[in-house]
């Protein structure tokens, strides 16, 4: 169920009421765990078995790993965790894609091969929770943490419903200590959590779905009938749509967790005010980018083996990061492009590590480049990617552009959001909360609530990152 749904509203109200009605901390965690399983099973009951497999496997593997000092055995155990988690992920997410690509490759060589039909439903959240449990076993392997002794607490770490389906990807070192301490009812946490929930739903329902999505969908319905201006409008709108959609979800997750007394990390830190691509990845989907950095890039050698190897490691990490988003060459290309941008940035950086450009110019150029690179990410197939990219060079300048009021509102909102991002460059969400006058915040919250009600249609568009 989605955060902006009636089902979640009823579910969350029931969970909050039950959670705080139970006085014992252990029983409260049981309520949370049961609610989390219910939350997941509300999608498709049988698929909860996969979470159980992942949970039990990694719980046992981590304990055994910690109990042994033999390096070979430890390696074998962590390999087992990798095989189980990535195996399940690969089967559900990539099997059809790999077979299809193999068939295409054979076709190029003149060999006709028809792969079997793979009618597999992608278990929701699998990309997120497998990475989450893998981070745990890898941290235990690297002796950065000790294994959790309570299966219940570990299961709650894996399945905590606010972040189960689309992140943030939480580290065990962040979450498990919070399970150890009882959380009394805190009205300020509940209030701020509800406020964040409303703001997150506002970003998704009002900004992403109502203001930006129509412009983007209209453009992608027929990309041949466009102009340079039209393409620019649509790409800007998609930049904002995907940010509002995903950041909105993450904000909802943070807010829902806070209502229950748990703190989970911010996933977005004004990414469109990034000065450079490294900075962008320190601000966009932060929990994924740090996961890739800590468990993939560093494992490959990071920047410790010379420039060439660093570039390879960067590109490979971003390429696999792209593939994580979806079983499609479009996502691979998107990741690859980001890898290339990071390489270019690294090569032009000064010896003292600073950028050569003024910050404001760097922010603008970064935003424009990131927006262009969204092309393969949004396009449903490679042909559309090429068509959109071509439209910058082969189309008329302005005919076919959208001059409607809706388009003007979208672009004005996009401009306002860029200003907001620049204002928030060095401010966290909590800083922002403290700096805005309370009355203004309250008025904003009231208007956000009203806006959500005015834009809610009962036809909820799925969060974009649900498909990953």
Partner 1 sequence: MPLSTSSSERALPDAARASWLLAGLAFGVVLVVLAEFALRGLGGVPNVRDSEALWHTQRERAARAEDRGIVLVGASRFQLGLDLEALTEATQRPVIQLAIDGSGYLDLVEDLSNDDRFRGTVLISGMPASLNDSRPADRASTWVASYHQTFKGLVSPNIEQSLSAKLQSYSALYANIYPLPRVAKIAIDGQRIPPLYLKTFPSRERSADYRLVQMPQFYIQRVGRNLGGRIDKMQFATMGEFAAKVTEVAADSAHEVAPALTDFQRLQAAISRLKSRGATVTILEMPSSGLIKAMEDIWYPSAYWREFEATLQAPIIRATDFPELTFELPDGSHLDQSQKRAFTRALVDVLNREGAL
Sequence length of the chain is: 468
Task: Kindly name the residue from 285, 325, 338, 421 that is annotated as catalytic.
Answer: 325
Residue-wise DSSP of 5-41: SHHHHHHHHHHHHHHHH---HHHHHHHHHHHHHHHHH
| Residues sharing a CB contact under 8 Å with residue 453, sequence separation 6 or more, in sequence order | none
Could you tell me the two tokens for 216? Answer: 């983007």
CB of 107 to partner 1, least distance (A): 25
Distance between CA atoms of residues 383 and 116, nearest Å: 24
Distance between CA atoms of residues 358 and 255, nearest Å: 36
> Which residue's CB is nearer to partner 1, number 10 or number 415?
10
> Which residue's CB is nearer to partner 1, number 63 or number 279?
279
> Which residue's CB is nearer to partner 1, number 297 or number 374?
297
Distance from first CA to last CA of the chain, Å, rounded? 15
CB of 449 to partner 1, least distance (A): 3
| Residues sharing a CB contact under 8 Å with residue 398, sequence separation 6 or more, in sequence order | 227, 228, 229, 230
CB of 31 to partner 1, least distance (A): 19
Cα torsion through 378, 382, 387, 393, rounded to 10: 90
Question: Is 125 within 8 Å of 166 (Cβ atoms)?
Answer: yes
Nearest to 26 by CA among 167, 180, 188, 217: 180
Instruction: Write the CA distances from 410 to 87, 220, 258, 333, 449, integer angstroms.
Output: 42, 16, 31, 28, 20
CB of 117 to partner 1, least distance (A): 13
- Applying CB under 8 A, the residues found at the interface with partner 1 are 1-2, 5-7, 10, 41-45, 168, 171, 173-174, 177-178, 186-189, 191-192, 194-195, 198, 258, 263, 265-266, 269, 282, 286-287, 290, 405, 425-428, 430-431, 433-434, 438-439, 441-450, 453-460
CB of 394 to partner 1, least distance (A): 30
Question: Is 203 within 8 Å of 248 (Cβ atoms)?
Answer: yes
Distance between CA atoms of residues 394 and 435, nearest Å: 48
> Which residue's CB is nearer to partner 1, number 47 or number 76?
47
DSSP assignment letter at 18: H
> Which residue's CB is nearer to partner 1, number 4 or number 345?
4
CB of 91 to partner 1, least distance (A): 19
In the block, which residue shows the tokens 């962040």? 174
Q: Is 338 a catalytic residue?
A: no
> Which residue's CB is nearer to partner 1, number 105 or number 408?
408
The residues annotated with a catalytic role in the active site are 325
């Amino acid at each position: 169920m989605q955060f902006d749904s009636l089902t979640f509203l009823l579910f969350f109200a029931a969970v909050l009421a039950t959670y705080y009605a139970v006085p014992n901390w252990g029983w409260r965690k049981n309520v949370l765990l049961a609610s989390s399983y219910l939350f997941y099973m509300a999608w498709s009951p049988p698929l909860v078995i996969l979470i159980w497999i992942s949970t039990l496997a990694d719980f046992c593997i981590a304990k055994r790993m910690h109990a042994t000092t033999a390096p070979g055995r430890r390696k074998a155990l962590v390999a087992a965790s990798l095989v189980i988690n990535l195996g399940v992920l690969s089967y559900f997410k990539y099997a059809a894609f790999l077979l299809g690509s193999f068939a295409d490759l054979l076709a190029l060589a003149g060999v006709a091969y028809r792969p079997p039909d793979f009618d597999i439903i992608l278990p929701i959240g699998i990309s997120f929770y497998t990475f989450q449990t893998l981070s745990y076993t890898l941290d235990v392997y690297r002796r950065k943490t000790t294994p959790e002794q309570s299966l219940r607490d570990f299961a709650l770490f894996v399945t905590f419903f606010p972040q189960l389906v689309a992140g943030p990807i939480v580290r065990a070192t962040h979450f498990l200590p919070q399970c150890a301490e009882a959380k009394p009812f805190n009205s300020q946490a509940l209030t701020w959590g509800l406020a964040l929930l409303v703001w997150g739903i506002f970003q998704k329902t009002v900004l992403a779905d109502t203001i930006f999505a129509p412009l983007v969908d209209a453009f992608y319905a027929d990309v041949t009938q466009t102009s340079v201006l039209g393409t620019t409008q649509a790409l800007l709108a998609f930049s904002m749509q995907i940010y509002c959609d995903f950041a909105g979800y993450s904000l909802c997750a943070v807010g829902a967790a806070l209502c229950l007394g748990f703190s989970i990390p911010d996933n977005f830190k004004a990414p469109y005010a990034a000065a450079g691509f490294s900075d962008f990845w320190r601000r966009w989907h932060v929990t994924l980018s740090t996961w890739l950095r800590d468990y993939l890039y560093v494992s490959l050698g990071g920047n410790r083996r010379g420039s060439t190897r660093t570039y390879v490691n960067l590109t490979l990490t971003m390429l696999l990061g792209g593939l994580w988003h979806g079983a499609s060459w479009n996502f691979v290309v998107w990741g690859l492009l980001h890898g290339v941008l990071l390489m270019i940035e690294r090569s032009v950086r000064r010896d003292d590590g600073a950028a050569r450009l003024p910050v404001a110019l760097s922010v603008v150029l970064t935003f424009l480049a990131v927006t262009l690179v969204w092309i393969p990410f949004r396009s449903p197939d490679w042909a559309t990617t090429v068509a959109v990219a071509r439209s910058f060079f082969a189309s008329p300048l302005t005919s076919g552009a959208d001059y409607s009021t809706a388009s003007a509102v979208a672009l004005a909102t996009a401009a306002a959001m860029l200003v907001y991002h620049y204002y928030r460059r060095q401010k966290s969400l909590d800083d922002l909360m403290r700096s805005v006058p309370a009355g203004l915040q309250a008025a904003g919250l009231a208007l956000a609530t009203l806006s959500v009600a005015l834009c809610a249609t009962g036809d909820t568009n799925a969060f974009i990152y649900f498909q990953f």
